[in-house]
Structure 1
Amino acid sequence: MTAPGLIISAPASGTGKTTVTLGLARAFVRAGVAVQAFKSGPDYIDPAFHRAATGRASVNLDSWAMGAGQIGALIAAGTGAEIGADTPAELVIAEGSMGLHDGVAAPGESGTGSSADLAALTGWPVVVVIDASGQAQTAGAVALGLAAFRADIRIAGVILNRVASPRHEALLRAGIGAAGLAVLGALPRLAAIEMPERHLGLVQAEEQAGLDAILDAAADLVAGHCDLDAIRAAARACALGAAAHRPLPPPAGRIALARDEAFSFVYPHLVAGWRAAGATILPFSPLADEAPDPSAGACWLPGGYPELHAGRLAGAARFRAGLRAFAETRPVHGECGGYMAMGAGLVAKDGTRHEMAGLFALETSFAGRRMHLGYRLAELATPAPGLPARARGHEFHYATILSQPDAPLARVTDATGAAVPETGSTRILPGGGRATGSFFHLIAEAT
């Protein structure tokens, strides 16, 4: 049996659920509880903060991209000391995405990607974080509506956030009580624990100066204003069994994986699956002008923020030459930022063009921002190492394609089945190697 769990969700984004999740996780860890965090949906930034708060790798659980069997297997592995932990977990805290019931219009493998779908699949009760700014008893109506919208999920209680005063708290508690729900905490506004953001969400965990102090401040706030005993008592065991699930096969037995401030968006479950299959991961830093390890059989360039480091990447001659030499005889794959770094050029926000590795003729630009966001279903044109023939993933960036002349990697559609122009690219190198790249981040195989 897996550790009992809860889902931290909210009526909408921006309510403070990430801060509450991190504060709860760190508070329980400081109390001696082994906490396993998960993230509902495709966000690849929050799990790094979860890991910093708990000391355990956090994993994405995505009902649109993953089947119930894979979700159950990842929960069992994460809580059972199989993904980057030495001991089994005692409590699961899963952070939701967007609003509780927010997902895409058409379901995928096991749902629409909503936090409510994950709650229904797992049986984990939901703790709702409500931003109480500008309202009082109406918070009760909001909480009641969230609870009544679906009969197959259970609301464990409410944590009120950004409470202005004791009088405000009393009115809020009256509204929540009238809705028949429990108030598990009431947090005053504390700007010191609000973390900086940029256009893709929170600034990455490894970029945060004094992150431990921020996490401890969040834990102090939560421990001082929430009923930790009641919150832990509300957790329930996962309803999903530990079904057998075969992770995606690795692209090679030894994988050179780009890893630094420019290339950090890779899903933890993907790398864990490679390791479980026996692959060796060989990290290298393009920003430090490092080339892929020559002993590797494949190279993987994750997404990140290449536009913030375009000048350094353009000046990393050893990296670019080493990547080109590696690609002559072995497969190289790039996701989003990694894909752009494999292109011919990248135009930064100020209009300056920076030379990239040149494995593709791809030209991209950040001079004119345009958001590309959503789930993706990709059907490969030809087989590629590390990629299933039908893949589910997620795309989130602000780059504009100026030129994408290479052969398309796949036919790519969004969650509604509409075709998207970001097809990715594939190219066979003169030495027989294969370069592939896409704007979507691979999550799982599509059935």
Structure 2
Amino acid sequence: MTAHGLLIAAPRSSSGKTTITLGLQRALTRRGLVLRGLKCGPDYIDPAFHAAATGAPSANLDSFAMSDALLGQIAGHAAAGADLVIAEGSMGLFDAVPGLAGHTGASADIAALLGWPVVLVIDVSGQAQSAAAIALGCQHYDPRIRIAGVILNKVASERHRRLVAQGMAKIGLPVLGALPREASLILPERHLGLVQAGETADLHARLEALADAVAAAVDLDAVIAAAGATRLPGAAAPVTPLPAPGRRIAIARDAAFSFVYPHVEAGWIAAGAELVPFSPLADEAPPGDCDACWLPGGYPELHAGRLAGASRFMAGLRAFAETKPIHGECGGYMVLGRTLVDAEGISHAMAGLLSVETSFARRKMNLGYRRAVLEANGPLGRAGEALTGHEFHYATVVSQGEDPPLAMVTDPHGSAPAPAGSRRGSVTGSFFHAIAVAG
């Protein structure tokens, strides 16, 4: 049996999607339902919160970077073992980049492909009946999707709720719930989004508080009834998102290295690879019996001094690189370079396996989808192969150094191909996060 699903979305960012999604997931899990969470778009952090709220794995669905077959495979795995799938949108419901129809990165693409109704979260602070005009626009903007109802957020008073509800009644849109302002329920944030689930010491207490608030303010039965049948696109064979860099992969995993997409790890495991975690922050070297090493993104800039002093890790990494491939994504790329300058302007020596030098003192946000064509054979694939992915970082390159680029990269907005990343011997890295092999 394939579970029904729905998408929690909003007209814009910062409307309360994540807190309401987590509150719904936890509240319905407490009822005894088997919940699965999914996240639209390139987001590493929210799926870990979904997993904590539901007690089950979460994953990403990205209509720009993934084929219909891969999207259906990920959604199908989630829906196969659940009573209900509650997916969370990204940014505004229709926010997108130029792309093929149905593959623009918009959360609406996911709802349309999988047949999931949308529950719209609207931050009604500073407005009343006018919120209905926004909801009405969302109802009619894209005929592929159906808005099943709204949840009002940041309601100031009972009178405020009644006024907003009057507007929604006028357009025939059910109000499934109304949450008051509650600053104590806000999850802590840092420069790449929420503080990660594993670092939030009181996470389960916060999730319980969110569930209490949502259960008190939202008609949970109506939310369950709003879910629709999951419509899965067929695939002739299982899809492997990215080639496994080895059969036994040493993967850095701790507070400095944590940004790995669940679907990528699942694809490697399905292909027969074994993942062997190790902790650079605990001064652990990549295990010598592995045949590839992967340094994910994360927050090495917050731990630069500790990493620089991790002598066993650094020596082990250099020894590993003498005979076996190593790849670093974003934060992992920074650690493979010569130096990393932290937010205070202090320079820390890194592994020196690549010539790049980076700085977090010179902060500049780099954000967006990318298409990367590999320049040479390596852990990500063969020369000439294309990958889809994204960048999201605040670090800047102080010096690229003498290494040749890993790939030539373009964005969806028509940018000219530009060199990105570095490669030297068996070591590669870039700020580019790979999501899937390009179709």
Report the TM-score range of the alignment, normalised by the length of the smaller protein. Answer: over 0.9
- TM-superposed CA distance for 1:319, in Å, is 0.4
Partner Cα distance (1:109, 1:381) in 2: 29
- TM-superposed CA distance for 1:51, in Å, is 0.5
- TM-superposed CA distance for 1:110, in Å, is 4.4
1:214 partnered with 2:206: yes
- What pairs up with 1:46-125 in 2 under 5 angstroms? 46-80=46-80, 88-104=81-97, 106-107=98-99, 110-125=102-117
AA matched with 1:36: R
- TM-superposed CA distance for 1:358, in Å, is 0.7
> How big is the alpha-carbon RMSD for the aligned residues of Structure 1 and Structure 2?
1.2
Partner of 1:390: 386
Partner Cα distance (1:315, 1:263) in 2: 16
| Secondary structure of 1:373 counterpart | strand
1:11 partnered with 2:3: no
Partner of 1:409: 406
- TM-superposed CA distance for 1:199, in Å, is 1.1
Superimposed CA distance per residue, residues 25-52 of structure 1 (whole angstroms, 9 cap, x where no aligned partner): 0011000000011000001110010000
Partner of 1:315: 309
- What pairs up with 1:164-175 in 2 under 5 angstroms? 164-175=156-167
Going from structure 1 to structure 2, the CA distance change for 1:261 and 1:419 (only over 3 Å counts) comes to farther
1:195 partnered with 2:191: no
1:424 partnered with 2:421: yes
Going from structure 1 to structure 2, the CA distance change for 1:109 and 1:269 (only over 3 Å counts) comes to farther
Partner of 1:444: 436
1:298 partnered with 2:295: no
- What pairs up with 1:318-329 in 2 under 5 angstroms? 318-329=312-323
Match of 1:337 among 331, 334, 344: 331
- TM-superposed CA distance for 1:78, in Å, is 2.2
AA matched with 2:272: G
Partner Cα distance (2:163, 2:418) in 1: 51
CA contact (8 A) 1:255 1:297 kept: yes
Q: Structure 1 residues 68-77 or 245-254, which shifts more?
A: 245-254
- TM-superposed CA distance for 1:147, in Å, is 1.0
Partner Cα distance (1:64, 1:173) in 2: 35
Partner Cα distance (2:102, 2:263) in 1: 18
Partner of 1:85: none
Question: What is the aligned length?
Answer: 434
- What pairs up with 1:206-245 in 2 under 5 angstroms? 206-243=198-235, 244-245=237-238
TM-score by length of 2: 0.97
Going from structure 1 to structure 2, the CA distance change for 1:20 and 1:219 (only over 3 Å counts) comes to same
Partner Cα distance (1:342, 1:219) in 2: 42
| Secondary structure of 1:311 counterpart | helix
Partner of 1:431: none
Match of 1:141 among 133, 137, 154: 133
Superimposed CA distance per residue, residues 274-324 of structure 1 (whole angstroms, 9 cap, x where no aligned partner): 111111110000011000010101000000011100010100111011001
AA matched with 2:327: H
- TM-superposed CA distance for 1:349, in Å, is 1.2
Partner Cα distance (1:28, 1:420) in 2: 47
1:246 partnered with 2:239: yes
Partner of 2:395: 399
1:350 partnered with 2:344: yes
1:127 partnered with 2:119: yes
| Secondary structure of 2:257 counterpart | coil
Partner Cα distance (1:162, 1:71) in 2: 33
Partner of 2:275: 281
Partner Cα distance (1:30, 1:425) in 2: 48
Partner Cα distance (2:106, 2:243) in 1: 27
Percent of pairs with identical residues: 62
Going from structure 1 to structure 2, the CA distance change for 1:367 and 1:318 (only over 3 Å counts) comes to same
CA contact (8 A) 2:65 2:389 kept: yes
Going from structure 1 to structure 2, the CA distance change for 1:110 and 1:101 (only over 3 Å counts) comes to closer
Partner Cα distance (1:109, 1:36) in 2: 27
CA contact (8 A) 1:64 1:109 kept: no
CA contact (8 A) 1:25 1:54 kept: yes
| Secondary structure of 1:418 counterpart | coil
CA contact (8 A) 1:411 1:419 kept: no
CA contact (8 A) 2:68 2:233 kept: no
